[in-house]
């Protein structure tokens, strides 16, 4: 977490959390979701109208990535100064990028080591790593397939619906808030 964020938390400890305004898609892209976009439906609904506006500002994306983490309930959030901005997930909290040499990093650039490989009923590939759980980016599935073919990773079959409970993450903190 950035030092400026830590200082803001001390200065303003009771700022209410924000839900529904930030989303992470299955390719590791961040989206801002205003009230009109939120009214179109859940982030993970699969419609373009419900995703919002993609973030393009590189330094803002880096700032979000450095201050992105889970709470004790498995809800991922971005600590924006004194305010927690809970993130709506299209799939998983991390999106893995796999290089041809099988070096691994997440959508924030954090390097990791693979601990387990999983495959769901639709053929999507997930990795549990020393830094967390996530989906392999669609462009990098070819490298994951190479790792499997060479016996380096042994995918375990899993149902996509079971993943949040198995790996303790919440895809929609906003829906939890509304219960």
CATH number at residue 42: 3.10.540
In this predicted structure, what is the pLDDT of residue 4? 75
In this predicted structure, what is the pLDDT of residue 54? 96
User: Which residues of the chain, if any, have pLDDT below 70?
Assistant: 1, 9, 12, 179
Question: 79 and 102: one domain?
Answer: no
Question: 8 and 64: one domain?
Answer: yes
For 118, the domain range is 94-164
| Distances, alpha carbon 3 to alpha carbons 14, 16, 65, 140, in Å | 18, 20, 14, 34
In this predicted structure, what is the pLDDT of residue 179? 64
Q: Please state the domain count of the chain.
A: 2
Give every CB contact of residue 39 below 8 A, 6+ residues apart in sequence.
none
Question: 104 and 140: one domain?
Answer: yes
Question: 173 and 85: one domain?
Answer: yes
In this predicted structure, what is the pLDDT of residue 12? 65
CA distance linking residue 29 with residue 34, whole number of Å: 16
| Distances, alpha carbon 142 to alpha carbons 68, 69, 90, 118, in Å | 28, 28, 22, 15
Q: Which two tokens stand for residue 15?
A: 């700022």
In this predicted structure, what is the pLDDT of residue 140? 98
Query: Residue 32, class by beta-carbon neighbours within 10 Å (0-12 exposed, 13-18 middle, 19+ buried)?
Result: middle
In this predicted structure, what is the pLDDT of residue 7? 74
In this predicted structure, what is the pLDDT of residue 161? 97
Question: 52 and 132: one domain?
Answer: no
In this predicted structure, what is the pLDDT of residue 150? 95
In this predicted structure, what is the pLDDT of residue 164? 98
């Amino acid at each position: 977490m950035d030092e400026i964020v830590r200082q803001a938390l001390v200065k303003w400890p009771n700022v209410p959390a924000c839900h529904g305004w930030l989303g992470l898609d299955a390719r590791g892209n961040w989206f801002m979701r205003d009230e009109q976009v939120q009214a179109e439906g859940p982030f993970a609904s699969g419609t373009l109208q419900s995703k919002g506006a993609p973030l393009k500002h590189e330094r803002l994306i880096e700032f979000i990535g450095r201050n992105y983490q889970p709470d004790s309930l498995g809800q991922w959030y971005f600590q924006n100064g004194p305010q927690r901005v809970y993130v709506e997930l299209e799939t998983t909290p991390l999106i893995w990028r796999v290089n041809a040499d099988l070096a691994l990093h997440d959508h924030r650039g954090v390097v990791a080591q693979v601990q387990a490989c999983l495959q769901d009923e639709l053929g999507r590939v997930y990795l549990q790593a020393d830094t967390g759980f996530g989906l392999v980016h669609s462009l990098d599935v070819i490298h994951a397939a190479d790792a499997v073919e060479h016996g380096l990773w042994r995918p375990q079959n899993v149902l996509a619906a079971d993943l949040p409970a198995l790996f303790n993450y919440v895809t929609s903190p906003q829906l939890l808030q509304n219960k």
